[in-house]
Amino acid sequence: MLYFYPKDDTPGCTKQACNLRDDFSALKNRNITVLGISLDSSQQHANFAAKYQLPFPLLADQDGRVARAYQALFSLGPLQLAKRHSFLIDPEGVIRVVFRQVKAGQHSQQILQAFEQLNQA
């Protein structure tokens, strides 16, 4: 699962990251790998991950190239941020579910529900 988020250590992004952290074992038990990505630097990610004890990697996309490829880049004049979008990707690299309406405090539940629905089909 690849999730884009706007900025480290901001209220919504912290809520989302901590929600994923709190349900990390449930995600891991289903073999769901969690990767977070934003336009922040590796050092900002390291500080954010340490502060909130995040058990998953945060990737730096400082030029926005990856966010742009996933149509998750938001530009407001010279300011660029990643949109709060997530992608459930299968082991073969196929995007199975796209989350464009992410609820920061309930994101892990959204992922788990979508995963269960995929496995029932």
| Options 13, 17, 88, 111, the catalytic residue | 13
13 noted as active-site residue: yes
CB 6 within 8 A of CB 81: yes
Structure tokens at 36: 């977070």
CA terminus-to-terminus distance, the chain = 19
Residue 2: which residues within 8 A CB-CB, separation 6 or more?
Answer: 35, 37, 70, 86, 87, 89
Distance CA 39, CA 61 (A): 5
How far, in Å, CA of 87 to CA of 48, rounded?
22
Which residues participate in catalysis according to the annotation? 13
